[in-house]
């Protein structure tokens, strides 16, 4: 046979071998669960999102610009164990998914699992703390169930881009839902009597209630809302996720998570006794 014919006959075998080799490499890449951990440790920094308007989770010192708050403390603890430094990356809730996609952040705290965001973000299956959906009502408004709230005469305020908007649209579609840019504007709506209640996570509710003077109500049935940690969905983040999950479990088992929250809320002057008796986080 001519040289050409020899080569042609060998071609299928060569292609198969090449394909197998490639498959192995790809499989090998996705099989290394340490990839993300190695990347973070190699970079020497844990990039953590920080935001204004999210006290006491994130607190920016007006004088020095330094960041503190319980989310930041958790980030510091995690970073210390990993042997890296925390690098705060300022952003907003609305931009968070894009930040993950763009690799601007390595971790995010206090996320409520959200199927749409779940396309980009991996949520830990264990909650860091458990939130619940509550409303802060203006004085005199006292509807106590989701069914009662789901009425055209009810005016609810929600923050844009937050899960509370999703909750309101899902549970109280008949109510008038007013969407505001940030929390202080929502409070204004209540004060101006353009809304009856603001839908908030319970911890934000205790923060906000003193400014409005009305009641904190946990509408029945109580909707618990796990707040957990999110990381970027990428090949090789299994080790990172598993390690974080263990850390969270430890925090909760030792009561450390709850203790930290209680401490920060107290420091911020938020009265946790305002929480309804039947709620525990």
Summarize as ranges the residues that interact with another protein (CB under 8 A).
Answer: 52-55, 60, 62, 90-92, 95, 98-99, 101-104, 182-185, 187-188, 211
Nearer to another protein, 55 or 131 (CB): 55
Nearer to another protein, 237 or 251 (CB): 237
Nearer to another protein, 31 or 52 (CB): 52
Minimal distance in Å, beta carbon 50 to another protein?
Answer: 9
Minimal distance in Å, beta carbon 271 to another protein?
Answer: 16
Minimal distance in Å, beta carbon 105 to another protein?
Answer: 11
Minimal distance in Å, beta carbon 69 to another protein?
Answer: 12
Give one DSSP letter per residue of the chain, joined into a string. Answer: --HHHHHHHHHHHHHHHHHHHHHHHHHHHHH-TTHHHHHHHHHTEEEEEE-TT-TTTSEE-TTT--EESHHHHHHHHHHHHHT-EEEEEE--GGGHHHHHHTT--S-EEEEPP-TTGGGTEEEPSS-SEEEEEEEEEPTT----BHHHHSSTT-EEEEETTSHHHHHHHHH-TTSEEEEESSHHHHHHHHHTTS-SEEEEEHHHHHHHHHHH-S-EE-PBSP-EEEEEEEEE--TT-HHHHHHHHHHHHHHHHTTHHHHHHHHHHHHTT--GGGS-TT---
Nearer to another protein, 191 or 220 (CB): 191
Minimal distance in Å, beta carbon 273 to another protein?
Answer: 21
Nearer to another protein, 187 or 205 (CB): 187
Nearer to another protein, 138 or 183 (CB): 183
Minimal distance in Å, beta carbon 265 to another protein?
Answer: 15
């Amino acid at each position: 046979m001519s040289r050409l014919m020899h080569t042609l006959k060998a071609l299928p075998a060569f292609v198969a071998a090449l394909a197998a080799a490639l498959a192995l490499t790809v499989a090998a890449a996705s099989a290394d669960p340490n990839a993300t951990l190695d990347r973070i440790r190699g970079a020497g920094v844990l990039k953590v999102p920080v935001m204004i308007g999210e006290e006491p989770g994130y607190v920016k010192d007006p004088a020095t610009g330094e960041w503190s708050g319980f989310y930041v403390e958790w980030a510091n603890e995690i970073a210390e164990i990993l042997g890296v430094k925390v690098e705060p990356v300022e952003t907003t809730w609305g931009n968070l998914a894009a930040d993950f996609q763009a690799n601007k952040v390595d971790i995010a705290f206090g996320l409520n699992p959200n199927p749409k965001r779940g396309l980009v973000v991996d949520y830990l299956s264990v909650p860091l703390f458990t939130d619940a959906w509550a409303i802060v009502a203006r004085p005199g408004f006292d509807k106590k169930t989701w069914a009662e709230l789901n009425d055209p005469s009810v005016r609810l305020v929600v923050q844009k881009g937050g899960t509370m908007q999703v909750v309101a649209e899902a549970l109280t579609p008949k109510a008038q839902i007013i969407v505001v840019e940030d929390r202080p504007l929502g409070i204004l709506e209540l004060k101006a009597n353009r809304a009856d209640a603001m839908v908030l996570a319970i911890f934000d509710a205790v923060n906000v209630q003193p400014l409005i003077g009305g009641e904190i109500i946990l509408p029945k049935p109580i909707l618990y809302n796990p707040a957990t940690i999110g990381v970027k969905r990428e090949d090789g983040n299994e080790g990172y996720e598993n390690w974080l999950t263990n850390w969270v479990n430890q925090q909760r088992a030792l009561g450390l998570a709850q203790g930290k929250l209680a401490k920060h809320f107290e420091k911020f002057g938020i009265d946790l006794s305002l929480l309804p008796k039947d709620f525990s986080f």
